[in-house]
Every structure is written in structure tokens, then in C-alpha cells.
Amino acid sequence: MGIKLKNFSRNTITKFAVFLITAAMISMAVIQIFYVDWNRYNIEPLMIETYEESNTFMNELQNTFSEIDSHFNKPEILEIEDLNYIYYITDGNETQTNREDFSREDFLNYSNYVYEYNQGRVTSNGNVFENFTYLFSEDVTIYIGFPDEYMKEKQEEWNNANEILSAQVIDFALYTIVALALIIYLITVTGRKPNKETLQTNWLDLLYSEILLALVVLPIIACCIYLFDLHYYYNYVLRISAIHKSYMYLIGIVTAIAALLSGAGLLALVRKIKDRRFIKGFLLYKIGYKIVVFTVDFTKSFFDGRRYVKSPLTKNLHQRQLAFIIASFILVLLTLMFIFIVLISGILIFIPLIFIPPVLEIVLIYWYVKYNNKTYDEINKGFNESLEEQMKSERMKIELVTNVSHDLKTPLTSIISYVDLLSKEENLSETARDYIKVLSEKSDRLKNIVSDLFDLAKSNSGDINLHLETIDMKTLIEQILGDIEDDIERAGNKIKLKLPEPSIEIVADSNRLYRVIQNVLDNALKYALNGTRIFIEMEKREGRGIVTIKNTSSYEIDFTAEEILQRFNRGDKARTADGSGLGLSIAESFTNVSGGSFKVDIDGDTFKVIISFPLASE
């Protein structure tokens, strides 16, 4: 049960639904705030129980005293019909009231809400109002009485306002608490998926932390600015008294959009924090880190000579370079110091000191260049010796292959001859004839391999006789296609030719070029997809005759052009019977030794060979 609940809480649909509900709760809470402000509710009823004790009533009382004081000793009298109170004001000489035959004692007994202003203070039933602001005359005495029915009505309004506001506060608190609880839930489960304990991230987490922080903050700021402007426009520009549903819908939609954007940014930041990539995710951090690393590496490059431990000559160069840098730096400081001393002291006798460091610098440069040149000579000498050893080793390899190939030819020829004689015997069983057939096939294959090795070794060593002549490429290709016509029919592939008129003449060795094109076509016939076409194109470009042979492979090409040109390397590893893996190597070697260019190009499963030679007319 616990595992199912855990998986349910981590489910993507569950998290998405909670995310939307959270945005809705935030929108409802914001709507409550604007609803209260639109209706201009006084929030004081939530904090003060009785109307008489509220600041609202204090303001009303103060305004009443001010109104009576402002009409004192003026012709007009405030009529009781126009007022919700009775009053009495006197300065000792003159008296004014809105009630005839009314003594002070009767006035004090008028109701439970009688207020007296005398000698700069306000009292009621012996209680003094300390927080009263006096804006009227101090030499008058004022009595104000509010009817009990009036104060009772005000108290009822006060209680109703308390009930309305309490309901609004409860709704606001409920929406806020639910939203906070859901946010905590989303923060807890973000980056987690069912049956997976590792943190799961998405494309949003790849953004820099600065962008995510902006995604959290900017929608909130933009939402607040827009909603306050909207509220001011509806309330104070249009002066709409009744609240509009469209207005509330608009507030909810804008708030929800801002909440969704900020929430997405917040959850992405939380995932970064969980993945410990919050600080490292800042662009400024990455820039600063790269600057620090570059500075450290740049500084270490001057002093760290551990990489040259196994190279004595390079180590000497490094040590000499380090000594030169340090000494040059000291000499520059000395020069600046001597110049500063001369400028400050004004003593001309110190001027010769300025020229000492530059002279020493010249000596230092001479020493540095001289001994560096010696080290470079030693390095070049060692490089040449290493190159000579490498060339000697390569020549030995070629000679070994050539000699072994030559030594194998004689016994191999005997084996082939005896196998041929055995195959002509009449009294052989079918099993023996099968064995002889296998021996014949394998000995022929071995003969071809030895021949290929011998040819490849001679071409790589340069010990090959070339007969360069003018060759008609079109005629040569047609001749090769005629010679391998049976192989083309057996392979089941069609040849698609694109040979221009007139033909192209090049300079090459005809025998070697014949072998090159034959090897490439054999390779195409072996490895091309059945039923597909093999394209042979010929063109003239930039003073060269170019032949392009391309086919679609019957297998997935998972090698590079460089790999397939290596010796004994096959494209299709599943094939073991045909070929030796030397065909393309021999073709490349023959092309190069004849003065041509051999290139392999791979595009998906398309295999293309490009062969080019100089034109005869160039």
C-alpha cells in the first residue's frame, strides 16, 4: 500500500493536476483580496468588537465636534432634522443648540452615548479619550449626544461587517494554507518518478539559474503591476461601483498564468538544488570559474615542469624559460624602481643606475637564445634519428613481407599443382572429391592473398616498375566491365554508367589502373545490396579525370573511411569466405604510386570511391 501511494504521489499526471490546483488556489486567494478592496470593506471590525471603541467612531466623533465648532456664532443653525445627533455648545457668553429648552442635565441624561468637550479634552461617562486630535477652539464647551437607536444600528452594521470579513478571511486563509501545502508537496516530489530513486530532470533544468530566478520573480512583479493598474482603472477612473464578474475572471486568469510561470521556474530551481547544481548553474559562476581555471592554468604553465620529466631536452628548455621570465621580471622592476628614485629625489647621480638593468637584460636574452638554439639542434638530431629508425623498421617490414610472399609462392604452386592432379583421378569417392574441391578453393584464395601481399609490399616500398602512358578511361572501364560480366550477373546488381562524350584521357599505368578499378568493382559486387544499382560516373574537373563508383551497402556501415582502407580490414565482419581485406588497400596504394588520388566517402549506407588522375592534355 505504501509503495502504491508513493508511486501515485510521484505520477506525472498527479503532479500536473496538483500544479494546476495550486495555481487555482493562489488565484482565489488574490481574488479575495481584491474583492475586499473593491467593496471598500473596513477591516477594523475584525480587530475591535464594539463600534464605539473603534477608530472609525473616533473619526466620526471628531468630525462632529469640528462641524459644530465651525457653525458656532454663525447665523445658520444645524437643524436636528439634518443630523443624527443633538448638540450643545457655549463659550460662557453665547450658547447654541439644536434643541430648545434643553438644560445640561437633561442633555447628559439624553442617552448612553453623550460626549463632552471641555478645556481641550473629550470625556464620556468619566472616561477620557487620550488619542483624540483637537482641531477646534479650546475656549468652548461642546456636548454631543447620539441616540441609542442610532448607535444600536451602527453596532449591528459593525457586527455584519465583522461576519462578512470573517468569512472572507477564512476563505483567504483556507486558499493560502491549501496552496502552501500543495507547494510543499510539489517541492518534495519534483524530480521524482514512480519506481525511480534517481533524480529526473527535463529541458527546463538546463537553463541558467539566473533565467530561472527571473522566471520566478518577473511574472509576480508583472502580475502585481498589471493588477494594481487594472484595479485603479476600474475603481478610480471608471468609478464602477458594482463589482463585475469579468473583472474577477480577469484577475484570476492573470494570477493563474503568473503562478504557473513562477511555479515552473521555482520547481526547476528546486530540482537544481536537489541535484546540487544550483550554484554551478549560474552563468556568472561558469564564466568566473573558467576565468579562475584559465588564470591558474596560465600561471601554472610558467612554473609546472612535471610534464617534461621524461624529456630531458624539453625540461631544459622549460627551466631556461622559467629562469628567463623571472630574471626579466626582476630587471624590469629594478628599472622602474631606479626611475622612480631619480624622479622623486632629483639626484642626477642615480641616472646611470637606470641603464644597468637593460644592459643585463640584453646579456640575458643572448644567453637565452644561444642555449635554446643548442637545445633545438639536439632535439632535431634526435627527431631525425627517430625518423630514420622508423623508416628503417618500415623497410624491414616491407622486405620481410616481400621475402615471405616470394618464398611462399614455390610451395604454394606445388600444392595447387598436386591438388589439380588429384582432382583428375578417376577412382575417387565423392567425399574425397569434396575435400579436393575445398583444398582447391582455399589454395587459390591463399595464392591470391600472397600475390596481393607481394604487390602491396612492392608498391609501398616504391620498388615497382611503372609504365605511365595516355589511357582512354572510358575504353578501360568498358573493358573491365566486359571481363567481369559473369560476376555482375551472379551478383544480381545492375551497372548504371554515366560516361561523357568524348572520352577522357589521363596519364597512368594501365595495368595498375585496371587492377584498381577491378578491385573497387569486386568490392562493390560483394557488398552491395541485392537488386540495387552500382553507379559508375566519369567527369573532367580542375585538370583531372575523375571516376566515381558508388553503391548501397547490404549491411550497416559502422566504420570510417580511414578504417576500411587499413590492411586486412573488412566492412562486413560476417563475411569470412570471400576476399582478404587487401583489395581497397592495394587499390589505394597502386593509385598513389601511379600519381593519382584515391578517396573513400561514406554517407549513411552509401559507399563511394573517388579515383582521379591528371589529364593527358594538361
pLDDT at 455 over 70: no
Contacts of 11 (CB under 8 A, 6+ apart): 194
Cβ atoms 316, 375 nearer than 8 A: yes
Residues 82 and 165 in one domain: no
In the chain, the number of structural domains is 3
Q: Residue 80: its pLDDT value, please?
A: 47
Which is more confidently placed, 318 or 479?
Answer: 479
CA angle 115, 120, 125 (to 5 degrees): 30
pLDDT in tens, 368-422: 788 778 877 777 777 777 777 777 766 666 665 565 655 666 676 777 776 677 7
Per residue in 100-142, pLDDT (tens digit) is 666 667 666 777 888 888 877 887 776 777 666 566 666 788 8
Nearest-angstrom CA–CA distance, 581 and 58: 106
Q: Give the separation between CA 356 and CA 372, rounded to whole angstroms.
A: 24
Q: Among 146, 169, 196, give the residue marking a domain's end.
A: 146
Q: Is the pLDDT of residue 241 over 60?
A: no
Task: State whether 68 and 184 are in the same domain.
Answer: no
In a domain, 323, yes or no: no
Sequence-distant (≥ 6) Cβ neighbours of residue 268 within 8 angstroms? 204, 205, 207, 212, 215
Both 211 and 133 in one domain: the answer is: no
Among 26, 472, 64, residue whose Cα is nearest residue 251: 26
Q: What is the pLDDT of residues 50-94, one digit of tens each?
A: 888 888 888 888 888 888 877 776 655 555 456 778 888 887 787
Indicate whether 182 and 101 sit together in one domain. no
Mean pLDDT score, 508-520: 80
Q: Does some domain include residue 44?
A: no
**So what's the pLDDT on residue 576?**
47
Q: What is the SS3 assignment for 535-583?
A: EEEEEEECCEEEEEEEEEECCCCCCCHHHHCCCCCCCCCCCCCCCCCCH
Range of the domain at 533: 467-614
Rounded distance, CA 71 to CA 78, Å? 8
- Looking at the structure, do residues 471 and 560 belong to the same domain, yes or no? yes
Enter the pTM of the model.
Answer: 0.46
Q: What's the whole-number average pLDDT of the chain?
A: 77
Pairing of strands 505-509, 468-472: antiparallel
Alpha-carbon span 293 to 559, nearest angstrom:
37
pLDDT of 327-365, one tens digit each? 888 888 888 887 887 777 766 676 777 788 888 888 888
pLDDT at 16 over 70: yes
Bridge partner list, 143: 88, 116
350 within 8 A of 342, measured Cβ to Cβ: yes
Mark residue 42 as left, alpha or beta (left: phi above 0; alpha: psi -120 to 50; beta: remaining): beta
Please answer whether residues 519 and 587 qualify as being in contact, where contact means their C-beta atoms are separated by less than 8 angstroms: yes
- The number of angstroms, rounded, from the C-alpha of 139 to the middle of its chain's C-alpha atoms is 79
Q: Lowest-pLDDT range, 317-321, 346-350, 460-464?
A: 460-464
75 and 124 in a single domain? The answer is: yes
The verdict on residue 377 lying in a domain is no
Residue 279, domain member (yes or no): no
Question: Contact 533/495 with Cβ under 8 angstroms?
Answer: yes
Beta bridge pairs of residue 535: 496, 550
Indicate whether 580 pLDDT > 60: no
- Indicate the range of 247-251, 333-337, 379-383, 606-610 predicted with least confidence: 379-383
